[in-house]
Amino acid sequence: MTRRLDDFAPQHPAWDLLTGVTPFQAFEGDSRFPFSLYVPRRYRELAGELPVLVSVHGTGRKVERSRDQFIPFAERHGVAVLAPLFPVGIGEPDDVSNYKELAYRGIRFDEIVIGMLQQAAARWRLRTDRFFLAGFSGGGQFAHRFAYLHPERLLAVSIGAPGRVTLPDTAEPWPHGVGGAGAVFGADVDLAAVAAVPMQVVVGADDHAAELLAAVAEDPREARAGATRVARATALAEELRALGADVDLSIVPGAGHDPLAVTAEVVAFFERVPAAAAPTPAPEGAPA
């Protein structure tokens, strides 16, 4: 049985191991998929359940970077960061995109993230009913598709520079639109609920990187959203706004295809989410 961190004595070495950057641990539901967290060092000083920011890596699987870029935000606001790893070669040795469309060969990557949160909450005091979600590039693909399927789980979502986009178009089949999502996932997309989620679409103004989009450049279904990441990010933001969503479109001057170049914009967006969604430090003398 998993022991909660709060059950360890203050001098126990578990406090050093399980706060700050944590070791990767296997997901109990499928050990092929590990995850790591950043837990604020002042965990014991914080009251109640900590909000969680799930940060999803891109195609290069630089998981530590996707986690560590949010450490100052985590410490400042008492937020835990959870970073999953979806390895290359699940099902096919050369496949690098398995997680981006959420469903792949019977695997539901959206449900894996939810399961990881539940597993983490057995160890730490975490709020898992709703959470922040961020992803860049391949992670940006995951993030906006997760928002379509699970809007009720999100405090806010940041969608970074996706190479392929799913537009909120019920006439276009998944994954180019949201049509037929019920046949794939067992439930249709609730666009009214999606529109209620605070959203950011962020991309570097210099994120041209045409070679990264070569594989989809000739697909007419992709062309509808534009030929560049900036165009696709803009199209996605505009169509989400047409639903009534509050979308912050951030085109960052001087930034290319680099998640670290847009991290400040992502953090600033999350910091604008209403304070009720964020933690408050424990009053002096209050138990952790």
Q: Is residue 240 part of a domain?
A: yes
Q: Is residue 258 part of a domain?
A: yes
Question: Does residue 152 surpass a pLDDT of 80?
Answer: yes
- pLDDT the model gives residue 211: 60
**Distances from the Cα of 13 to the Cαs of 1, 18, 19, 138, 148, in angstroms?**
19, 9, 10, 36, 41
Question: Does residue 1 surpass a pLDDT of 90?
Answer: no
DSSP 235-253: HHHHHHHHTT--EEEEEET
Q: Is residue 127 part of a domain?
A: yes
What is the pTM for the complete model shown?
A: 0.92
pLDDT in tens, 155-194: 999 999 999 999 999 999 999 999 999 999 999 999 999 9
Q: What percent of the chain has pLDDT over 90?
A: 83
Q: Is residue 79 part of a domain?
A: yes
Q: Is residue 1 part of a domain?
A: no
Domain with 187 in it: what CATH number? 3.40.50.1820
Question: What is the count of structural domains for the chain?
Answer: 1
pLDDT in tens, 258-276: 999 999 999 999 999 875 4
**Distances from the Cα of 42 to the Cαs of 75, 149, 238, 247, in angstroms?**
8, 34, 40, 32
Question: Does residue 288 surpass a pLDDT of 60?
Answer: no
pLDDT in tens, 26-58: 999 999 999 999 999 999 999 999 999 999 999
Token pair listed for 95: 């496949």
CA dihedral 146, 152, 156, 162 (to 10 degrees): 20
Q: Residues 288, 6: contact at Cβ < 8 Å?
A: yes
Neighbours of 223 (CB within 10 A): 13
Q: Regarding beta strands 52-56 and 80-84, do their DSSP bridges make them parallel or antiparallel, or are they unpaired? A: parallel
Neighbours of 222 (CB within 10 A): 18
Q: Is residue 4 part of a domain?
A: no
Domain that holds residue 62: 9-274
Name the packing angle between helices 109-121 and 138-149 (round to 10°).
Answer: 80
Give the distance from CA 127 to its chain's centroid.
15
- pLDDT the model gives residue 103: 96
| Dihedral-angle region of residue 77 (phi above 0 means left; psi in -120 to 50 means alpha; beta otherwise) | alpha
* Helix H or strand E encompassing 267: helix 259-271
Q: Residues 174, 180: contact at Cβ < 8 Å?
A: yes
Q: Is residue 193 part of a domain?
A: yes
Q: Is residue 263 part of a domain?
A: yes
